[in-house]
Structure 1
């Protein structure tokens, strides 16, 4: 690459790693769950929450024009300037919360944060593509992502404790911390060497539209994006408004999701390489449908003994379907796009999924508002000589209908995804068994390390032998592999 002799690669990669740690802390404090929790604490309507949740997706549309500037000016300067504006808006959000001003100000600054963050995406991705050598890119991104998620987990846990002590008064501190982490990230970005833009070929958005297999892929993934964003912004709203849990419970569940994400990224990389990306995508879509459906059983009609355990299970699944699909999708787009012409495929994939995600959030707000007073219940009456007993069998109310619709659409997306043809991909059942093996192996490895006797040892040995690994050594390779190679578009530090 041009100017390679002038680049201190070791120093640049070190600064990029520290940028990843700081930026991941910032992102972890600005999730949809946290933003929705704040809006719910201010008694915002479901329609408004859906609109705000759509903002990150709508703002991604600016990536198309920003790509033009990425080729004409210094990509480092564009990244620094746009990210500076984006992160300063976080401080403005903190002041808006602290002053208890109208929600319009908070939403406006949140929109500014997202728009300028996305303006930096194209120049950042192009810059990192030219900076990091191909031979170490996958391993480097895996390490960077793993460390970033681990550090951000401690930040989330810390705010869980603070929310438990201070309640909603914690929000100004949270957004201020996100601002500080963002500025620290900028400091390290400034320490990364710039790379001159090389010659680029002409990119056309028409070529992917002529690829029928690509269109089948996008049809399934965009429909799932619509389904997931129909419900995801309202998970935290449901926990606070319906289940009446404090905000710190939402933050704690977010930490559970992050732990789950780290784990599933760890075991999914080799599985995707060996068995294909499509079946992993399908399983993640299924996991979302199960999670959305389980939400409807957290009340009967009030919260019950199993409500919190159900929420933990839901957020364990959340870690899987919010982290793995992005990697699998980027991998499969790379497989089906012609060499040297993948940019248009990535761009079209990103924009279409963003539009459907925004539409899902907006539709979710409308649907939630429509069903806010709806109620459906099925009860079983048992009458005997001992007396009369009424047992609630099913109870759906308000947001439950939204979650059911979302789960159903997600299942339809799986059907559409199966029309996509991925070379050498195995069936979903094979991948499901493989992931089960990895999870069981890791659980047994942990129990062995802690000197806890394994239950049903004979059954485990039988399953292990069928799985092709030793139950005594517990040496299952997929779970011991590093994180999968992460495309630069998903791991930008901006």
Structure 2
């Protein structure tokens, strides 16, 4: 039963792909209703401490380490469907345990059971994911990969949107009283378990082609150690590890902050998460165009500080007067975080692939996944401990203005979580230093970078008479300036170049349009004296 096949017919393949769409739909419903914000909401509901919440947030990240030994398991057993189906079925047995947690009277015991169930759930899902990826690579034909997985993503996104709305309505009612919340959480996780059974049954009906004959395997420690000898890739790993640590140090506690400090409901927090996902999907294609046209590192140079600034701005949410304006402030921050997070995710994945040698890409990818999983998994645990440490501490900033007519004082006081967000943001800016050390193949030359900045500035000033031009005048070409800093172009050379080429181009397009429009072309540099003489001849 569930054995691999020597060959898969076209009819079996079509049926298998349909079952994969069913699997995706119900598995996505589990993610929307039972993971992420909903799981943290359950932890808050039972009265978990910040350290316990940090542990709970770390488990989905830290368990990704299990994908490394899972590679050896797949190579030995060579039955990927059995491994995947068995892992996801046992992993989803944690959902009924989640459903029972609200009815455990002892708070400490309830939190311990919740953490143990999460370890089972996410740990086996990580092992199953490793087997599933290998299975899909051999099952879906290469010429259908893009179409099929885009369709699968569309199904999953649609179901996730509906499930998120339903989950938000349910969590709104869960906050009315403790008894009602107990039954609502139990219902959500029981429904998730039913979805898990349907998903597992659909996955079991997908055929598996037999794995090709194995060659001599390389020990896993050699695969993981090889990338560390590459200085440039080591710099990239330094950036990714510091980024994962800084981001996951604070973001898991946003939910705690919104509910306990700002007084918002869990339903609103789930809506914020949904808004961030929609912003992510809306701009991912635009980031892809930018990464292809300029460089992945340029995208990271813009998206990384944008996300970090949003984390820092979260510390000022309590200073916004009125719950309605405060909610609007959080919506704007989540839109920006979703958009910038999409850029970091896309560009970092692309640059890791680009820096990995064709002959050893597996080891480079595995090393990246392992190091990022460790950094991302440790961060929430430290964050949970640190947030409790800062609970008895406050940070105040005050400005005093004195004049003949009197004195005025303006000040802001940060609570323990807000203080913690600022520290996380400061650590996040360290990633920019590490990013500057990464060398990406195919980076444009210094002359082209200066030409593009001058061209963008000329178009911006040319449009300054229109409303859109005034908006575009505030667009700052951060990614290109980072490149200039790395190229260490002498200041006098830059000034001479600016004077010589300031009036070289007269395009009337906006800067934002030039970044997004796929038909945009880099303006040609002004011809040199030698080129002009050659043309005259």
TM-score (norm 2): 0.76
Rate the CA distance shift 1:328–1:9 in 2: closer, same or farther, 3 A: farther
Change (3 A) 1:212 1:193: same
Which of 491, 495, 508 is the equivalent residue of 1:465? 508
What does residue range 290-369 of structure 1 map to in structure 2 within 5 Å? 290-300=309-319, 306-369=325-388
Q: Deviations over 1:191-229 (max 9, x none)?
A: 211121113443432321221111111110011100011
Q: How does 1:198-217 map to 2 (within 5 A)?
A: 198-201=212-215, 202-203=217-218, 204-217=223-236
Contact map agreement 1:222 1:356 (CA 8 A) in 2:
yes
1:17 aligned onto 2:21: yes
**Change in 2 beyond 3 A, CA 1:276/1:3:** farther
The worse-fitting range, judged by mean Cα deviation, of 350-359 and 92-101 is 92-101
Spell out, residue by residue over 1:430-485, the C-alpha distance to the aligned partner (whole angstroms, 9 max, x if none): 8xx99xx9xxxxxxxxxxxxxxxxx92676899993348989xx993499xxxxxx
RMSD: 3.3
Question: Are the structure 2 counterparts of residues 149 and 325 from structure 1 closer, same or farther at C-alpha, using a change threshold of 3 Å?
Answer: farther
Q: Report matched runs for 1:18-417 at 5 Å.
A: 18-73=22-77, 74-99=79-104, 102-167=110-175, 168-169=181-182, 170-201=184-215, 202-203=217-218, 204-300=223-319, 306-379=325-398, 391=410, 393-417=411-435
Distance 2:344 2:5 in 1: 34
**1:32 Cα shift?**
3.5
Q: Structure 1 residues 245, 121: closer, same or farther in 2, change over 3 A?
A: same
Shift of residue 155, structure 1, vs aligned partner: 0.9
TM-score by length of 1: 0.82
- Cα distance between partner residues in 2 of 1:360 and 1:469: 36
Change (3 A) 1:344 1:134: same
Task: Give 1:157 shift.
Answer: 1.3
- CA–CA separation in structure 1 for the residues paired with 2:287 and 2:407: 51
Shift in Å, 1:416: 0.3
* 2:396 counterpart SS class: strand
Q: Work out whether residues 222 and 357 of structure 1, in 8 Å CA contact, stay in contact via their aligned partners in 2.
A: yes
Kept in 1, the 8 Å contact 2:66–2:126? The answer is: yes
* CA displacement at 1:315 relative to structure 2: 1.3
Q: Report what 2:517 is aligned to.
A: 476
Gaps of 5+ in 2: 176-180, 457-465, 476-506, 521-537
How many Å separate the matches in 1 of 2:512 and 2:44?
49
Equivalent pair of 1:290/1:407 in contact (CA under 8 Å): yes
Name the larger-Rg structure. Answer: 2
- How many Å apart are 1:79 and its aligned residue? 0.1
Between the aligned partners of 1:281 and 1:468, the Cα distance in structure 2 is: 19
1:194 aligns to what SS in structure 2? coil
3-state SS in 1 of match to 2:309: helix
CA shift in 2, pair 1:60/1:345, >3 Å:
same
Deviation for aligned residue 1:150:
2.9
CA contact (8 A) 2:284 2:346 kept: no
Q: Could you give the per-residue CA deviations for residues 404-438 of structure 1, whole angstroms, max 9, x where no partner exists?
A: 111111111122022111122469x98xx99xx9x
Aligned pair count reads 454
Greater displacement, 265-274 / 124-133:
265-274
Q: Which structure's relative contact order is higher, taking Cα pairs within 8 Å and 6+ residues apart?
A: 1
What is the distance in 2 between the residues matched to 1:127 and 1:478? Answer: 38
Q: 1:386 to 1:176 in 2, by over 3 A?
A: farther
Tell which deviates more after alignment, 54-63 or 199-208. Answer: 199-208
* Stretches of structure 1 lacking an aligned partner (at least 5 in a row): 438-454, 480-494
C-alpha displacement of 1:2 = 8.3
CA distance in 1, matches of 2:174, 2:127: 35
Q: Is the 8 A contact 1:380 1:390 kept in 2?
A: yes
CA distance in 2, matches of 1:352, 1:82: 24
Task: Give, in angstroms, the shift of residue 114 of structure 1.
Answer: 0.8
- The alpha carbon displacement at 1:302 in A equals 7.7
